[in-house]
Amino acid sequence: MSLPYTTPSAPAGPAGPGARPAPAAVHLSAPRYVLGELRSDHTTVEGLRERARRFGMPPRADLWGWGAVHRTAKSLETLAAETARATLDAAGAAPADVDCLILCSTRFPGGPRTHGAFVENVMAATGLGAAAFTGLTLGRCANLLAGIRTGQAYVASGMHRTVMVITTDRITDESARMENYALFSDGAASCLISAGPLGPDAYEIVAGAGAQDPAGLDWSNEISSDLAREVNERILDEAGMKIDDIRGVFHANLYKPLVVLKERQAGFTREQLFLDNIPRLGHCFAADPLINLVDRARDGALRPHGHYLLASSVPGVRIAVLLRALPTAARTPEDPPETTGAAPEPATAAAPEGSLA
C-alpha cells in the first residue's frame, strides 16, 4: 500500500463524477530516540577479533565503520517509556492525546503469558492509559518503518487520530553483539503519526512502499537491491519524483561497505547516503532510520520542503517512507540543540591495548 503525494495547501482538482477524493495528508512528528547509557569502544565487544576472523573480515575498523557501541542495563519497557516521553514533550502533546500505540521489537520478552504485563508496563510508564495497541516483530530491523506505515494507514482511514510508534531493542547475549553485517547497540526510538503536524519537528509523509520475497526471508540470505529498486520505483511513481529529487537517504547503520554497495545498487549516489552514525552509534536495530533523521535535523542538514527517505532492508524485505521536511524541522546548526531531543554523546570508554581501530 502507498498513499499518493498530497500537500495541505495544494488546490483541489476538479471532482468529476465518480472521482475519488485525494487522501488527507498524514504527518510524522517529534521523532526522538534514546541510546544505551553505557558507551564503549568496539574493542570491548566480546570475541570481536575471533568473530571477524570467522566471518572472513579483515580487522580494519576504518573499513567497516567499527566505532562505539551503546549498552544498557535498562529494560525494554524503560527504554520505550523514555523515548515516548521525549516525543510527547517535543510535540507538546499529552498522553491522553494518543489513541493508539504501535510497539515494535525484534524480540518481545517471554511469551503469551508475559506479553500482557509487558504491554501494561509500557502503557503505564508512558501514561497512555487505555489507548489501543498492536505489536510488530516479524519485520526484524524493518519493524519501525512497518509501524510507521501502519500508523499512516490508521490515521488516513480515520481509524485513529494520533498514533505513537515506538521501537525498543537490546542485546541480551553479548556474544551476538557483533554479526557479519553490523555491530549492535541498544536503544529505542519513537514518533507520532497524525493528520496535522505536532510541534516544530514535523514532516509530511509523502509516500511509502514495501516489497517482500518470501523465498529470501531466511537470515542467511543477502539483502536484496532488487527489492530496494522496486520500492523506489513505487514511491517515486506515487510522488511524481525522480530519484535525484531525494536529498538524503536515512538507512540502517550496517557496515559501511554493505550499506554503500546495496544502496548504490538501488540507484542512490554516495552523496545521498548518511554514514556518519555507523561508527558513532552502531546498528540500533529498527531505530536507525529515525535516529539518523533526528541527527541530521539537529546538525542543520535538512532543507525546508526537502524530501528525505527512511529506508530499511533485511533479507527478503525492503520498506521505505518518503518524508517532506516542514520549514520548522529544517533548522540551522545555530539553533539550540536541546530543542531537537537528540541523545547526548556520553564519554567513550578508553580502547584497551590491541585496539583494532
pLDDT tens digit string along 242-253? 999 999 999 999
Burial status of residue 341 (CB atoms within 10 A of its CB: 0-12, 13-18, 19 or more) = buried
> SS3 for 228-270, per residue?
HHHHHHHHHHHHCCCHHHEEEEECCCCCHHHHHHHHHHCCCCH
Quick one: pLDDT at residue 169?
Answer: 97
pLDDT of residue 318: 96
Q: What is the mean pLDDT of residues 239-264?
A: 96
How far apart (Å, rounded) are the C-alpha atoms in residues 256 and 183? Answer: 11
Contact between 145 and 68 under an 8 Å Cβ cutoff? The reply is no
- pLDDT at res. 255: 95
Q: Spell out the residues 6+ positions from residue 69 whose beta carbon is closer than 8 angstroms to its own.
A: 36, 39, 40, 41, 42, 44, 45, 177, 183, 184, 185, 282
Cα–Cα distance, 335 to 56 (Å, whole number): 45
| DSSP letter string, 292-338 | HHHHHHHTT-PPTT-EEEEEEEETTEEEEEEEEE-TTTS--TTS-GG
Mean pLDDT of 333-341: 41
- Please answer whether residues 51 and 182 qualify as being in contact, where contact means their C-beta atoms are separated by less than 8 angstroms: no
Percent of the chain with pLDDT over 70: 86
pTM: 0.87
Tens digit of each residue's pLDDT (9 = 90 or more) over 25-44: 899 999 999 999 999 999 99
d(CA 44, CA 233): 42
> For residues 153 and 56, what is the distance between their CA atoms, to the nearest angstrom?
43
* CA dist., res. 156 & res. 343, Å (int): 31
Mean pLDDT of the chain: 87
What is the per-residue pLDDT across 101-141, written as a single tens digit (0 to 9) for each? Answer: 999 999 988 888 889 899 999 999 988 988 999 999 999 99
